[in-house]
Amino acid sequence: MAYSSKSRTASSPSSSTSHSSTNSSVSRLQGIAKQMAPSTSITSFPPEAVPQAPEDPLFGLMRAYKADPSPNKVDLGIGAYRDNNAKPWVLPVVKKADEILRNDPDLNHEYLPIAGLASFTSKASELLLGAESPALAEKRVASVQTISGTGAVHLGALFLAKFYKVHGANRTVYLSNPTWANHNQIFSNVGIPIATYPYFDKQTKGLDIEGMKRALGDAPDHSIILLHACAHNPTGVDPTPEQWREVADVMAAKKHFPFFDTAYQGFASGDLDRDAGAIRYFIEKGFELVIAQSFAKNFGLYGERAGCFHFVSSPSPQAAEITTRVASQLAILQRSEISNPPIYGARIASTVLNDKALFEEWKENLRTMSGRIISMRDALYSKLQELGTPGNWDHIKNQIGMFSFTGLSESQVLKLRDEFHIYMTKNGRISMAGLNTGNVEYFAKAVDKVVRESQ
């Protein structure tokens, strides 16, 4: 026993050293493991700072449509023209312009100037304002090529956020209710507060002109008012010429600042001048204003991102000087955003706009697109009438442009998707371009069924 006790006593220091060494090794391993383990400390962007954003509803709808294996599926969501076979349509005049460009031995891929392709922007402004416009003759227009209409709205919003600070200016933009969803994001991203004015009358499925005028009259003086020049997105409801005059009178009395967004000139009615009527009237009345212009729809150049932003000053002895100053600041903003715009879509549009024969052919292509959409409105209306679908469907014919606000509820929209594989936005908007002679009856019968079942 004595021997055993001595043995244990003698071994005690060694055992202690071993235990200490083991603890040290464990601590080192724990430290290494802690350094290697996932931790919010390894990023400056943890979930509480950068939460997962929801999928864009429209592109999510497009993804769901593509994944649907049903042979009967119908895409009425995306705002892009389709021919009667539900296929994208490359305008014949665009094919000709493309051929001209590809056979040009002097064609290169050099940078454009900051303000873009001058032969494009000059004709783009003529297209909107008219070739004989006094504003052009008096050098009251500054034009900058942009990344389609979205880029034009953004550049305009950025310009106003930085410079719309004159005494008494109300740095709030008033958007129609409803409006193109991206308007909200664009203005919010540059820090401009948003308000809305009534636009769509759910009872008549037409324009709430009195509500619109009342809201514009109640808005603080010098507010920014965003207006859809034609083919309102998403409703397809436009003011009449007389209603535009009433709106202009209210805005003039309140000294509001008009911001026009035009994405469907020529595509809405088939008439370029008619679709630019509201803009021209406001300029004629002496408004200082800005315009965002897209060539995605009316040229079918969706992926080429061709657009323009225009500033128009009021008539005055200082107008040319004001316009020059504004143009200089737009160039600075453009330089810091995209440096210079993409060239190919602008070249396509410029080739057409600067050639008399091609320009006339383009107008015929526009009539083809707008005419097919009008025929689909008539066909859908007729089918619903034949079926005796409950409700008044006159708005299908009365609305204009690519979209129609059907008046269908969100539950009806979801039922159409689940039971009939028909894809449209939850607010009941449909792209008329997605209808054709092969699916319009199928769609009408589906609408008839869900409307009756919800009575």
Residue-wise pLDDT for 350-402, tens only, equals: 999 999 999 999 999 999 999 999 999 999 999 999 999 999 999 999 998 88
Which pLDDT band holds residue 30 (cuts at 50, 70, 90)?
A: low
pLDDT surpassing 50 at residue 68: yes
What pLDDT sits at residue 353? 97
Work out the percent of the chain whose per-residue pLDDT is above 70.
91
Q: Cβ–Cβ contacts within 10 Å for residue 438, how many?
A: 11
Cα–Cα distance for residue pair 175/220, rounded to 1 Å:
14
What pLDDT sits at residue 211? 97
Q: What is the mean pLDDT of the chain?
A: 90
386 compared with 167, residue with greater pLDDT? 386
pLDDT surpassing 70 at residue 29: no
Which pLDDT band holds residue 6 (cuts at 50, 70, 90)?
A: very low
Exposed e or buried b for every residue in 318-356, given b needs 16+ CB within 10 A? ebeebbeebeeebbebbeeebebbbbebbbbbbbbbebe
Work out the percent of the chain whose per-residue pLDDT is above 90.
80
Could you read off the pLDDT of 390-448 as tens digits, one per residue? Answer: 999 999 999 988 899 998 999 999 999 999 999 999 999 999 999 999 999 999 999 99
pLDDT surpassing 90 at residue 129: yes
Cα–Cα distance for residue pair 435/83, rounded to 1 Å:
9
Per the DSSP assignment, residues forming a β-bridge with 291 are 260, 310
For Cα atoms 406, 408, 414, give the angle at the middle one, nearest 5 degrees.
Answer: 125
**Residue 290 DSSP SS3:** strand
Which pLDDT band holds residue 125 (cuts at 50, 70, 90)?
A: very high
Given the residues 75, 208, 238, 261, the one annotated as active site? 261
Given the residues 297, 383, 393, 415, the one annotated as active site? 297
Average pLDDT, stretch 286-302? 96
Who's near 274: CB < 8 A, 6+ residues apart? 230
Contact assessment for residue 323 and residue 139, using Cβ atoms and an 8 Å cutoff: yes
Which pLDDT band holds residue 9 (cuts at 50, 70, 90)?
A: very low
Cα–Cα distance for residue pair 169/260, rounded to 1 Å:
18
pTM over 0.75: yes
Helix and strand totals (H; E) in the chain: 18, 13
For Cα atoms 259, 264, 268, give the angle at the middle one, nearest 5 degrees.
Answer: 125
- To the query of whether residue 445 is one of the catalytic residues in this protein, the response is no
Given the residues 89, 123, 180, 213, the one annotated as active site? 180
- To the query of whether residue 297 is one of the catalytic residues in this protein, the response is yes
What pLDDT sits at residue 315? 95
Average pLDDT, stretch 298-317? 95
pLDDT surpassing 60 at residue 10: no
pLDDT surpassing 50 at residue 4: no
Cα–Cα distance for residue pair 18/24, rounded to 1 Å:
10
For Cα atoms 161, 197, 224, give the angle at the middle one, nearest 5 degrees.
Answer: 25
Cα–Cα distance for residue pair 42/447, rounded to 1 Å:
53
What pLDDT sits at residue 5? 40
263 compared with 55, residue with greater pLDDT? 263
- To the query of whether residue 378 is one of the catalytic residues in this protein, the response is no
What pLDDT sits at residue 171? 87
